Structure 1
Amino acid sequence: MIKQLTLSAALVLGLGSAAHAAGGAGHVEDINFSFEGPFGTFDQLQLQRGLQIYTDVCAACHGLKFVPIRTLSDPGGVGLPADQVRAYARDVLFVADEGANAHLYDFEEGAARGLLPTDNFPAVENAGAPDLSLMAKARAGFHGPAGTGLAQLFQGMGGAEYIYSLLTGYTGKTKEEAGTTLYENTAFPGGWISMAPPLEDGRVEFDPEHANDLHHLSEDISAFLMWTAEPKMMARQQAGFVAVLFLALLTVLLYLTNKKIWAPVKRAAKGQPAE
């Protein structure tokens, strides 16, 4: 068993080192998000700002097809009132076509129907950009020394940090390959990405006024995308904490029970009188 664990660990370290040596991984910053750790929670105001950034900037190219709009009112998440969720669903714009959003299009009337809270966020396929629903989970790679994942294990570095690092990692250098403009990015694997810098200082205005420089905007949208990928994170952590407490209590009770049951046997073995 120990030999198998040793071989598995060596294989993981070897693969991580090989990927690092090949220059496949970029630099990922460690950000102290509020949801990290066993007792972390989502910052509701930050999630609301992230929703605004997604709506104003990201939604033109990226969809959230796995996220129901009604979850915007769930406790522990964005926390919008029900009337605001209905208003948001009604005002969301999307490209109506016979593909991803065909269920939202009334072809007889020739127009798109309004979204309902029971609908998911629209998919966006015409831009050729990836859907962001699970991006924070998909990019929760092995960050840290030689791609070992130690930074992710001990510092909580995951997909949200990658998204933040990607949005803030543009150097300003560009090059053209096969008619496509590529942008140098210190976080993207390989160092060059086809997506132009989506955020900049002051790109989104918040009400009430909040810091809207590149770094704060990147933190807000990264936290929001973490919530889209893990909307039940807080409930899962709470259930896990209760389970650990229960198992700890059960362990103590079993230990005391074991001592009580075997105490007469041990005393008899030592030649001591039974109580």
Structure 2
Amino acid sequence: MIENRPGLKFLSHMSLLIAVLLVCFPIYLAFVASTQTAQDVVNVPLSLIPGDQFWENYSKALSGGEGTSISAARMLWVTIVMTLIIAIGKIAISLLSAFAIVYFRFPFRTLLFWIIFITLMLPVEVRIIPTFDVVANLKMLNSYAGLTIPLIASATATFLFRQFFFTVPDELLEAARIDGAGAMRFFKDILLPLSIPTVASLFVIQFIYGWNQYLWPLLMATKENMFPLAVGLRQMMGNGDVAVDWNIVMATVVLMLIPPMLVILLMQKWLVKGLIDSEK
């Protein structure tokens, strides 16, 4: 039982407030910088009051500068498409693989599951050279297929769906067999609706995973029109030879923060339910 002590309650609220300020203050600085002129951004100290260049800076960020095809609008589109393919692909493949492992009897199915699970120790960074060689030989550079297919397989999602399927009562499977339902009918009408909270929570996790990808897209995308936001931001910062419009860069940073924040806010209930709800 938690005691209701005023001092402890005040301390816990202050701790939460300090944590929120530490997390949100850099975001606020990025927003302030995105509303100022390029000269104001480099002034020391930086003003904490938003400027009057909001519409101008965000218009330039979305449309791109002269002589370059790097624009936030194009990078947002590439990133959203790449992220949705990765998230939906991971969930679809993991659902079907976990379904096969749990409900089908075939030789070495447990061994195959552990082989899948062991791939958690082999992230993209470890196998990046042979993976790049395969993708390059298949001529998938500068394509959505090259950006997404090597990242779609997910041992974590397969493991979570497998553990959830083990909690589904066997009586449901027997009832489906009595009613004459086949394997895919049982999967579509019974397992899939029961898995919605888990699917929703994994979608949020995989969406953030795909949104933050940098190393693999850096290798796959050699043309500016296929740059996702993480790679495009680095290109916008230049190499030190030319001046950087930090106000435009910060405007792009703010635009990059909006989609994942919306996904988390809109699906927060499902995220919590899928991760901690025991009555599935």
Same fold judged by TM-score > 0.5? no
Task: Say which one has the larger Rg.
Answer: 1
Q: Decide which structure has greater helix share.
A: 2
TM-score, structure 2 normalization: 0.29
Query: Relative contact order, CA 8 A, sep 6+: which one is greater?
Result: 2
Q: Decide which structure has greater strand share.
A: 1
